[in-house]
Amino acid sequence: MIRVMLIDDHPVVRAGLRAILNGFEDVDVVAEGADGADALEATRAEVDVIVCDIQMPGMDGITATRRLRAADGPPVLVLTTYDTQADIVAAVEAGALGYLLKDAPEQALHDAVVATAAGRRTLSPEVAASLAERVSRPAEALSPREIEILRALATGAGNRELAKRLFISEATVKTHLVHIYQKLGVENRTAAITAARERRLI
């Protein structure tokens, strides 16, 4: 029996997921929560898979996934309506084993839960296609300065620290970041770092 914990800020969504998953003989929903902080209470001794949304009040699903991985917690299957490349990359980088959209068929949800419990990565077709498009997209050339900023970002530097290191204003840092995001086709610094590493720019 695969023990599942549901993390979603909408009670109606949790109720629907519970009914669907409990309809399968090999799945049992044993716990629920309304934000990422609730997920951190789960242990592998109690839960086999955490099915988690990513955008929620309080702690988001990406942060929870990252902390669960660091603590050797249960594997995470993201189930969400958000399908941007930035969200997908952030979730996978944080350690999510699966990424499924909420309009997936019930059987696909079940199969994803089973795969996640077994430690196998599973992505919905739309998500897989989005990642493939991202990797295959020719990258617009980054300037040496932009690559320098990306390398600093990868060390965890914030805008203020970047400005001090590079002897430029924070406003200039922000302008560089906007250009970097546009060239890499991403929406945040985490996704930018991931994209740069994928393309061996840093």
> What is 66-126 written as a DSSP string?
HHHHHTT---EEEEES---HHHHHHHHHHT-SEEEETTS-HHHHHHHHHHHHTT--EE-HH
Reported pTM = 0.68
Q: What is the three-class DSSP state of 197?
A: helix
pLDDT digits (tens, 9 = 90+) for 45-60: 899 999 999 999 889 9
φ, ψ of residue 111 to 5 degrees: the values are: -60, -35
Greater pLDDT, 144 or 129: 144
Q: What is the mean pLDDT of the chain?
A: 90
pLDDT of 139 higher than 60: no
Could you give the domains of the chain? 2-134 (3.40.50.2300), 144-198 (1.10.10.10)
What confidence score (pLDDT) does residue 1 get? Answer: 96
Chain mean position to CA 58: 16
CB neighbour list of residue 32: distance below 8 Å, 6 or more residues apart = 5, 6, 7, 14, 18, 38
pLDDT (average), residues 156-168: 91
What confidence tier does 127 reach under pLDDT thresholds 50, 70, 90? confident
φ, ψ of residue 37 to 5 degrees: the values are: -60, -35
